[in-house]
């Protein structure tokens, strides 16, 4: 599914210039043209796969917070991702800040994105990892 992330449509999706349904339609057309097959059902199935938060990642985030570190959820995703994450995983993870590229208009690894993520928790980027 690397073709999903390598498309011009993905860049527009992750920077908030296109919504998910339009993105999927564009990618389906592009892949269908490239490979000569109907991609709509494959993409629908791909996005229906239940993805769960990795327990180890959640445990690490909580341990870092308990040790006094700020933890930012930073994702290259469409603007509605924060709501979808809350619906899917619940709201029991109390992030210090949430950075969704589709709401910011720039995406990782753009330095503006990283500076904004750091500023949301009151740090300079050089103090973050």
Per-residue pLDDT of the chain (129 residues; tens, 9 = 90+): 566 667 788 888 888 888 878 887 888 888 777 777 777 677 667 667 666 666 788 788 889 999 999 999 888 888 877 777 677 666 666 889 988 898 889 998 899 999 999 999 999 989 988
Thinking of the domain 56-122, which architecture would CATH place it in?
3-Layer(aba) Sandwich (3.40)
pLDDT at 58 (0 to 100) = 79
pLDDT at 117 (0 to 100) = 93
pLDDT at 55 (0 to 100) = 72
pLDDT at 57 (0 to 100) = 80
- What value, to the nearest 5°, has the Cα angle with vertex 91 and ends 88 and 94? 135
Q: Give the whole-angstrom CA distance, residue 20 versus residue 14.
A: 9
pLDDT at 63 (0 to 100) = 92
Under 8 Å CB-to-CB from 126, ≥6 apart: which residues? none
What are the residue boundaries of the structural domains of the chain, listed by start? 2-48, 56-122
């Amino acid at each position: 599914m690397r073709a999903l992330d390598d498309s011009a449509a993905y860049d527009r999706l992750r920077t908030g210039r296109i919504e998910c349904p339009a993105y999927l339609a564009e990618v389906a057309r592009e892949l269908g043209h490239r490979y000569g097959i109907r991609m709509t059902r494959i993409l629908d199935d791909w996005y229906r796969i239940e993805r769960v938060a990795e327990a180890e990642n959640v445990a690490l985030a909580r341990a870092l917070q308990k040790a006094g570190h700020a933890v930012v959820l930073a994702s290259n995703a469409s603007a509605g991702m924060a709501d979808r994450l809350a619906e899917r995983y619940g709201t029991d993870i109390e992030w210090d800040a949430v950075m969704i590229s589709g709401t910011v208009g720039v995406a990782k690894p753009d330095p503006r994105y990283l500076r904004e993520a750091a500023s949301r928790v009151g740090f300079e980027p050089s103090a973050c990892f």
